[in-house]
């Protein structure tokens, strides 16, 4: 059996790295900038927002700085510690509540939030299909009627592409393509590249959300074709891109982000939904 870490252990061990992730690389910046632009277009003007599986609190802080009351729920103690530190540094303690919790069983009242976020891939770290269904129902349950829910997951086609340039894992591709599960059963005794993850296709994500009575308005590719820069051999190339080159790449991502094919190829895809009840 492989020593693949469970998500909580992985993010405990990568607490600072996760805080830096959305500004330390080209594809991380694209994920961040595309996400916050979509949030600006769809969030209510004021209210109480849930950041479910919010990690080190990037989106929590962004929301609190714009006047929202925010509750961050996160299972990783290391991530919660970073979030508390970053919130305190900015003097946002009165606007932010940080809680331990799991998206499969949120310790929160029904209909409590004016918007709910589940960003960066927490849903991708739920390996069991019934657990993913339960998680989405929980996101719907805690959100007020008619209000928005934002869910981003990690894309299967992008991960398969990354493994194509990792020769020691080539033999894993057919099974991973069929199941979407990057786990101990898949890896055997190989050294893991990441934590336990279920990678999504866009149609799968849409069906999962619709089954929980969430009306899916759009599924957007956050990094689009620039997801190629998340491949190991191209990360150094991406780091050499100038600000002007980044702006051109960003315009390409913006132009194509609503293209379903491009969204399906993206490292992260974001679903914009509303609670139907």
Residue 166: its pLDDT value, please? Answer: 76
Q: What is the per-residue pLDDT across 236-249, written as a single tens digit (0 to 9) for each?
A: 788 889 999 999 99
Separate counts of helices (H) and strands (E) for the chain: 13, 9
Residue 1: its pLDDT value, please? Answer: 41
Distances (CA, A) of 96 to 28, 83, 128: 24, 10, 31
Q: What is the per-residue pLDDT across 7-53, written as a single tens digit (0 to 9) for each?
A: 999 998 987 888 899 998 998 999 999 999 999 999 999 999 999 99
Q: Give me the helices (H) in the chain, please.
A: 7-13, 15-20, 26-42, 58-64, 77-89, 129-141, 156-164, 173-179, 184-187, 202-211, 232-239, 243-256, 260-265
pLDDT band at 261 (very low <50, low <70, confident <90, very high): very high
> Which residues lie below 8 Å from residue 171, measured CB to CB, with a gap of 6+?
none
Here the tokens at position 235 are 């990360």
Which helix (DSSP H) or strand (DSSP E) does residue 99 occupy? strand 96-99
Q: What is the per-residue pLDDT across 181-231, written as a single tens digit (0 to 9) for each?
A: 999 999 999 889 999 999 999 999 999 999 999 999 999 999 999 998 887
Q: Which domains can be identified in the chain, with CATH numbers? A: 23-44+104-275 (3.40.50.150)
Sign of CA dihedral 145, 104, 80, 120: negative
Q: 140 or 193: whose pLDDT is higher?
A: 140
C-alpha–C-alpha distance, residues 239 and 22, integer Å:
14
> Which residues lie below 8 Å from residue 173, measured CB to CB, with a gap of 6+?
160, 163, 164
Contact 268, 121 (CB under 8 A): yes
Residue 17: its pLDDT value, please? Answer: 86
Q: What is the per-residue pLDDT across 77-124, written as a single tens digit (0 to 9) for each?
A: 999 999 999 999 999 999 999 999 999 999 999 999 999 999 999 999
């Amino acid at each position: 059996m492989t020593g693949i870490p469970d998500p909580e252990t992985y993010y405990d061990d990568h607490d600072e790295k996760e805080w830096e992730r959305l500004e330390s690389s080209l594809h991380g910046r694209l994920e961040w900038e595309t996400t916050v632009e979509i949030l600006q277009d769809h969030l209510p003007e004021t209210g109480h927002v849930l950041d479910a599986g919010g990690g080190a609190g990037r989106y929590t802080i962004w929301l609190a700085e714009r006047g929202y009351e925010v509750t961050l729920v996160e299972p990783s103690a290391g991530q919660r510690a970073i979030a508390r530190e970053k919130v305190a540094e900015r003097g946002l303690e009165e606007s932010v509540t940080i809680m331990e919790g799991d998206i499969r069983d949120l310790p929160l009242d029904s209909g409590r939030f004016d918007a709910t976020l589940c960003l960066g891939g927490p849903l991708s770290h739920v390996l069991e299909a019934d657990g993913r269904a339960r998680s989405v129902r929980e996101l719907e349950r805690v959100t007020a009627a008619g209000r928005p829910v934002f869910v981003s997951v990690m894309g299967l086609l992008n991960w398969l592409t990354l493994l194509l340039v990792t020769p020691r894992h080539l033999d894993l591709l057919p099974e991973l393509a069929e199941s979407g599960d990057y786990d101990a059963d898949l890896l055997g005794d190989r050294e893991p590249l990441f934590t336990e993850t279920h990678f999504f296709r866009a149609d799968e994500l849409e069906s999962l959300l619709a089954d929980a009575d969430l009306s899916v308005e759009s599924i957007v590719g956050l990094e689009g074709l620039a997801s190629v820069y998340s491949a190991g051999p191209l990360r150094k190339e991406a780091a050499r891109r100038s600000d002007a080159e980044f702006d051109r790449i960003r315009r390409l991502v913006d132009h194509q982000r609503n293209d379903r094919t491009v969204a399906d190829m993206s490292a992260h895809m974001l679903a914009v939904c509303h609670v139907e009840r």
